[in-house]
Amino acid sequence: MLIPARGAVAVRVAADQRFRVIDLEGTQVVDLFAFVDGDVGEYASAEHTRVFVKRLFPKSGEPFVTNRRRPLLLLEEDSSPGVHDMLCAACDPTRYALLGHTGWHASCQENLERTMDELGYAGVEIPQPINLFMNVSRDADDALNFAPALTRAGDSVTLRALLPSIVVASACPMDLNVINGAGPTDAAVEVLDPA
Ligand SMILES: [Zn+2]
């Protein structure tokens, strides 16, 4: 399923079902959100995951846990350079205003709100996302450095749902810093196993 540049899609995945998130053209960040299907008050939480795995950034073979500290997704395979972020909040209208943009700008937060609204879940919490392919590092003084994603066209990650989930993937619309290289491009999400 295509995730158009600056847009988002939602997919339902059953427990044990795998799905793949693909950076079609390279250098594109995809914000990933996941909610427990049937109880969207429980969702994948980067801040709880950092404690659970005792790491700042995702790594193959490790889970993402919910705000109730239950493993929800497992990062099974990674054909990308393996650089992902778990520190940054989703971009939102205020983030773009602070960067000097005037007028409306697409954002991962609005993408999440719209796709969940379309499924009948208005007003969901905005979890801190799993920022796939996002290249954030910290220097010796703990300052954050934002750099272009290192992904090449076709790089992907494969995740397994450990509980029935609603997954939202947003092709990040950020075009006011370098994280998406020359600009936002398409991505895709593909469910791999029959439900
Ligand atoms: Zn974004």
Q: pLDDT 10s per residue in the chain (195 long)?
A: 999 999 999 999 999 999 999 999 999 999 999 999 999 999 999 999 999 999 999 999 999 999 999 999 999 999 999 999 999 999 999 999 999 999 999 999 999 999 999 999 999 999 999 999 999 999 999 999 999 999 999 999 999 999 999 999 999 999 999 999 999 999 999 999 877
| Percent of the chain residues topping a pLDDT of 90 | 98
User: Rounded to the nearest 5°, which phi and psi values hold at 191?
Assistant: -85, 130
In the reported structure, the alpha carbon of residue 83 is separated from the centroid of ligand 1 by a whole-number distance in angstroms of: 16
In the reported structure, the alpha carbon of residue 106 is separated from the centroid of ligand 1 by a whole-number distance in angstroms of: 8
Its sign, for the CA torsion 88, 180, 134, 162, is positive
| Percent of the chain residues topping a pLDDT of 70 | 99
Outline where DSSP puts E strands in 4-129: 8-13, 18-23, 30-36, 39-43, 63-65, 71-78
Q: Can you give the residue ranges of every domain in the chain?
A: 2-191
In the reported structure, the alpha carbon of residue 180 is separated from the centroid of ligand 1 by a whole-number distance in angstroms of: 10
Beta bridge partners of 7: none
User: Rounded to the nearest 5°, which phi and psi values hold at 9?
Assistant: -135, 155
In the reported structure, the alpha carbon of residue 142 is separated from the centroid of ligand 1 by a whole-number distance in angstroms of: 22
In the reported structure, the alpha carbon of residue 4 is separated from the centroid of ligand 1 by a whole-number distance in angstroms of: 13
Which residue carries 């790594």 as its tokens? 59
5, two tokens: 């540049």
In the reported structure, the alpha carbon of residue 108 is separated from the centroid of ligand 1 by a whole-number distance in angstroms of: 4
In the reported structure, the alpha carbon of residue 141 is separated from the centroid of ligand 1 by a whole-number distance in angstroms of: 25
Neighbours of ion ligand 1 (CB under 5 A): 91, 108, 172
What is the predicted pLDDT for the residue at 193? 81
Q: Compute the distance between CA of residue 94 and CA of residue 81 in angstroms, rounded to an integer.
A: 31
In the reported structure, the alpha carbon of residue 60 is separated from the centroid of ligand 1 by a whole-number distance in angstroms of: 23
